[in-house]
Each structure stands twice: as structure tokens, then as C-alpha cells.
Amino acid sequence: MERKGNFMQEMKTENVTVPVSEKYMLTIREASVYFNIGIKKMRRLAEDNAGRFAVFSGNRYLIIRAKFEKFVEECSAL
């Protein structure tokens, strides 16, 4: 039991960073920087396409990166 407690303690203090290109879901801000789209436009796209490539989690929208990439490829204009 002591070993599990130490592992959990280490996980709480360790700050894990994942590159944006490897994340499955992005915040509105991360997606706007990654795709070079304004934050307001990205939020509007997320609100209009919830369930397609955006998910409302808690109090924020998250963008599913792979699905949004496919959406952008199929669009002629945003």
C-alpha cells in the first residue's frame, strides 16, 4: 500500500506536458493556434458542430483534432 501512495504522490507533483500535435483533443485556444484560426471563429465552429468534431466537457469545448483536420480538408471555406 505504501508503494501505491508514493506513486500517486509522484504523479500529483509531476507536471506532464504533451505536444499539441500528439493530443487527441485540443482546447479552443490550442486549436486556434494549431490551425491558425481565430479564437472567436474556432469557438463558433465548435458550437455549431458539437458532436461532429467538438465535445462540450464541463464548461468548455474540446476539439477532436483528427476529426477537425478531416473537416478542414473537406471544407472549401471556413
How does pLDDT run across 18-43, given as a tens digit for each residue?
Answer: 998 899 999 999 999 999 999 999 99
**Which pairing describes strands 60-64 and 25-27: parallel, antiparallel, or unpaired?**
antiparallel
β-strand partners of 26: 63
Per DSSP, the chain holds a count of helices (H) and strands (E) of 4, 3
Q: What's the pLDDT tens digit per position in 41-70?
A: 999 999 999 999 999 999 999 999 999 999
Whether residue 50 contacts residue 71, with contact meaning beta carbons closer than 8 Å, is answered with: no
- Supply the CATH number for residue 31's domain: 3.90.105.50
Q: Is residue 40 part of a domain?
A: yes
Which range of residues forms the domain containing residue 56?
21-74
**52 inside domain:** yes
Could you give the CA distance from residue 58 to residue 55 in angstroms, rounded to a whole number?
Answer: 10
Distance CA 56, CA 26 (A): 12
